[in-house]
Chain A
Amino acid sequence: MGDIGINVPGLVAQLVGFFLLFGLLTVVLYKPVRRMLDERSNRIKESMEQAEQIKEQMAKTEEQVREQLGAARRDGQDILAQAAQMGERLKEEARGEARQEAEVIVARARTEIERERDAAIDEVKRQFVDLAITAAEKVVNETLDREKHRRLIEEVLEQAPGGKG
C-alpha cells in the first residue's frame, strides 16, 4: 500500500482533522444556524397566528359595528314611525277637538237664535195684542172692560194656527 501512500499516521492525522472540523462546525455553524432557523420559523408561525387573530378580531368588530348600525337604523325607523303615529294622533285629536268646539259654537248659536226668535215672536204678539185692543177700544168706545178683552183676544190667538204652544 506504500505506493499510493496509505499509512497509519496520515490516516490518523486526517481523522483527527475531520473530527476537529466536525466539532468546530457543530459549534460555530450547525447549532447556531439550527437555532436561528428554528427561532425564525417560530417567529413566523407566531406572527402568522397573531395576524390570524387580528383578522378574526377585526371581522368580529366589523360584525359588531354592522350589528350596531343595523340596530341604530331600526331604532331610528321605530322613532320615526312613532313620531309619525303621534303626529297623526295629535292631528286627529286636534281635528276632533276643533269639531267639538265648532259643534258647541253652532249649538250655542242655534239656541241664541231660537231665544231671539221667541223673544221677537213674544214681542210681536204683545204689540199685536195691544194694537188689537187699541183698535177695538176705538171701535167699541170703551164699552168693554179692558181686562175682559185681553183675555178674549189671547184665547183667540191661542186657538189660531202658528201661535205659541
Chain B
Amino acid sequence: MGRIRSWWGGLGKWRRIGIIAFLCCLLIIVGRLLFSTPQPHVELPAETLFGSFFTNTMLAALFTIIVLGAVCFAATRRMKVVPKGLQNIVEGLLEILINFVDDTAGKEYGRKFLPVVATIFIFVIANAWLALIPGFMTIGFWHTEGGEQVLIPFLRGANTDINFPLALALVSFVFVEYWGIRSQGFSRYVRRFISVGGFFRGMGMIFKGKVKSGLGALLAGVVDVFVGFIEFISELVRILSLTVRLFGNMTAGEILILMMIFLLPWVVPSLFYGLELFLGFVQALIFCGLTLVFLVMAVTPREEHE
C-alpha cells in the first residue's frame, strides 16, 4: 500500500488525470461489454401484471406489508422487559419515532398521532429500501408493445406508482381534518375556512346607520373571507404537494438508477444506490414530518380575532 502511494505521489498531475481517465474508460468499456443491459424503458404508470388492474407496484406494496408484518411479529411475539436481539432493534427504532412524534405533538396527542405518522414513515421507507433489492425492476417478462420488446418487471417500488403517494396523501388529509374537527369541534374548526362573521357585522352596522365604521368592518370582513378561502385552498393543495413530492423524488431516483445501470453498468451504480438509501429516508421523514406538523396545526386552537 505504501509503495503504491509513493508511486502515485511521484507521478505528475497530468499523468494522474490520464490514469484516472483511462480507468474510467476501462470501467465503462468492460461494463458495456460484459454486463450490458437493454435500453431501459421508462413508463410512469405502473404496469399491470395480470387481470385488468393488479400492478407490479401493488405486488411490491404487498411484499413490503408482508416483510414488515413478519419482522414486527417476530420482534414482538414474545416481548421481554429486558429487550434482546430483534426486539431491541425494533423497539429502539420505534422509540426514535415515538420520541419524534412526542416532541412535536406533546405527550397527549403524540399517543394518538403515532400510529398514522409512524405507519406512513415505515411504509414509505420500507417501500423505498426494499425497492433497492436487486430483482426489483429487472426481473420480469417481455411484452411486445408497438413492435418493440418491453420488459415488464414483476416488482416495482410502490412509491413510484402515483396511486400510492396519492393514497398516503389522502389518508394524511383525512386524518388531519378528523383530528382538527375532533379536537376543536366542527363549528370552531370550520370557522378557519369560512369566516363571515366580520362581513355580516359590517353589514349590520351599515344598516344601523353607522356607515363609516360599518364600511371598515365590512372591508375587514371581506379580507377574512378571502383569507379563509386561501386557507381552504392551501389545505387541499397539501394533498397535491405531498403526492407529487414523493412520487417525483422516488420515480426520479429509480430512473436515475436505471439509467446509470444502462450507461455505466459496472461499480458506478452502487454509489447511486447509496444516494437512493438516503433519499428514501429523507422522503419518508418529510412525508411523516409534514403530516405530523399538519396534525399539530389542526389541533392547535387559533386565537380568535375580533
Of A12-20, A54-62, A94-102, A127-135, the stretch lying at the interface with chain B is A12-20
**CA separation between A18 and B171, bound complex, in Å?**
9
B167 touches A4 (CB 8 A): no
B76 touches A24 (CB 8 A): no
**CA separation between A144 and B107, bound complex, in Å?**
153
**CA separation between A103 and B68, bound complex, in Å?**
116
B69 touches A10 (CB 8 A): no
A21 touches B119 (CB 8 A): yes
For the complex, is A165 an interface residue (Cβ under 8 Å from B)? no
Taking the nearest CB of chain A, how far is it from the CB of B42, in angstroms?
Answer: 12
Give residues 145-162 of A contacting B (CB, 8 Å): none
A36 touches B45 (CB 8 A): no
Closest residue of chain B to A29, judged by CB? B72
Question: Which listed residue (A11, A20, A29, A36) contacts B65, Cβ 8 A?
Answer: A20
**CA separation between A153 and B50, bound complex, in Å?**
182
Give residues 139-182 of B contacting A (CB, 8 Å): 158, 161-164, 166-168, 170-171
Question: Which listed residue (A5, A21, A33, A36) contacts B46, Cβ 8 A?
Answer: A5
For the complex, is B55 an interface residue (Cβ under 8 Å from A)? yes
**CA separation between A85 and B164, bound complex, in Å?**
102
Of A37-45, A68-76, A107-115, A117-125, the stretch lying at the interface with chain B is A37-45
**CA separation between A17 and B64, bound complex, in Å?**
10
A36 touches B115 (CB 8 A): no
Closest residue of chain A to B44, judged by CB? A4
Give the chain A neighbours of B161 by CB distance below 8 A. 5, 10, 14
A24 in contact with B68 given A5-B162, A10-B161, A17-B61 (CB within 8 Å): yes
B79 touches A32 (CB 8 A): yes
A6 in contact with B81 given A22-B115, A24-B69, A25-B118 (CB within 8 Å): no
Size category of the A interface is 20 to 34
For the complex, is A9 an interface residue (Cβ under 8 Å from B)? yes
Question: Which listed residue (A5, A11, A43) contacts B44, Cβ 8 A?
Answer: A5
Taking the nearest CB of chain A, how far is it from the CB of B291, in angstroms?
Answer: 12
For the complex, is A2 an interface residue (Cβ under 8 Å from B)? yes
A5 in contact with B45 given A10-B161, A25-B115 (CB within 8 Å): yes
B81 touches A30 (CB 8 A): no
For the complex, is B114 an interface residue (Cβ under 8 Å from A)? yes
Closest residue of chain A to B82, judged by CB? A40
Closest residue of chain B to A5, judged by CB? B45
For the complex, is B62 an interface residue (Cβ under 8 Å from A)? yes
Query: Can you list 19 A-B pairs with a CB-CB distance of less than 8 A?
Result: A2-B45, A5-B44, A10-B53, A11-B167, A13-B55, A14-B58, A14-B61, A14-B163, A17-B61, A20-B65, A22-B115, A22-B119, A24-B72, A25-B72, A25-B119, A30-B115, A32-B79, A33-B76, A37-B98
Report A's interface with B, CB cutoff 8 A. Answer: 2-7, 9-11, 13-15, 17-18, 20-22, 24-26, 28-30, 32-37, 39-40, 43
Report B's interface with A, CB cutoff 8 A. Answer: 44-46, 52-55, 57-58, 61-62, 64-65, 68-69, 72-73, 75-76, 79, 81, 83, 90-91, 94-95, 98, 111, 114-116, 118-119, 122-123, 158, 161-164, 166-168, 170-171, 247
